[in-house]
Amino acid sequence: EVGVEQTINIRHANNKSPATVLKVASQFSALKLNIISIIMSGSFDADEEDEHSQGPAPAPLDLGRMEVEARQAATKHVASLLQRPDQLDKVDQYKRRVARKKASVEAMLKTAVQSQLDGVRTGLNQLQSALQDVYQIKQSLDEIEENYRIIQPLHVKLKILNDENNLFCQLSAAQENLKHIFTVPESVAKTRELIMEGKLLQAHKHLTDLEVSRDDLLLALHRQPNDSPTDKITLTNYFSEVGTLSIDMGKQLWVIIQRTLLSVRREPTMICTAEDY
């Protein structure tokens, strides 16, 4: 109201005496101070606020110094706006513009602060969840360590049990292979007879059983803690006839293959006829 009244007085004093002009000038100065006080109450330009907000923030914050700097910046801005008497007509326009900028800046500030608060809240929740997970993991590790202390004496007992189990497995394997060991001479003779009779499929089956028995015994002997070369040599000599049978069977197969090739060359119809197609 004071600003409007002073503006009216200035408009009516355009054609008055010098004394009146001096009075108007004094009123103009008073009006400038009044506007400065109004804008300093919270309506200074947002551009200046952005300029200060973008600068490096002091650590710790010196609120007193920041307030003084803000007042100085607002004073300079108002002084730059009111350089001529005719600019007083735009005071209300300036006030509205500054009010809009202030409201916009406050809205952006509230949005930024709310976003930061949401981020901080989310981070705190995640930290709380991580802390609970760490506590649970620590509790589980403590339980595992305690259980390990309890079962540690069982290692000695289990070692004895493991040794007994290994011995039992060896005895079981030996018992399983005993029948093959005792029947080796009979199986060798039977296989040789089948080879001589030309019953190669049956001979191959018996020969395969002998080779499997030999390999199983050698493997069991190899797994023994104390590997004895003498036992290995004895076992190899005991199954030496198996290698001879394999050679004899190979010779018989080559004889049959050679006869088949000769028959193909001389009389191919004996091997392949039109009815086969």
| 121 within some domain | no
Whether residue 90 sits in one domain with residue 182? no
Give me 166's structure tokens.
Answer: 């290994």
Whether residue 262 sits in one domain with residue 178? yes
Whether residue 265 sits in one domain with residue 166? yes
Whether residue 178 sits in one domain with residue 98? no
| 142 within some domain | no
Q: What is the pLDDT of residues 51-89, one digit of tens each?
A: 444 455 445 667 788 888 888 888 887 778 777 777 777
Task: Give the DSSP per-residue string, 202-227.
Answer: HHHHHHHHHHHHHHHHHHHHHTSSS-
| 50 within some domain | yes
Whether residue 51 sits in one domain with residue 109? yes
Whether residue 100 sits in one domain with residue 174? no
Q: What is the pLDDT of residues 150-181, one digit of tens each?
A: 887 887 778 888 888 878 877 876 777 677 77
| 126 within some domain | no
| 267 within some domain | yes
Whether residue 88 sits in one domain with residue 174? no
In terms of residue numbers, what domain contains 70?
2-56+64-115
| 94 within some domain | yes
Using CA atoms, how far apart are residues 130 and 205, in angstroms rounded to an integer?
Answer: 67
pTM over 0.75: no
pLDDT at 123: 92
- Return the amino acid letter for 33: L
Whether residue 177 sits in one domain with residue 107? no
| Domains: count for the chain | 2
Whether residue 82 sits in one domain with residue 15? yes
Using CA atoms, how far apart are residues 209 and 203, in angstroms rounded to an integer?
Answer: 10
pLDDT at 124: 93
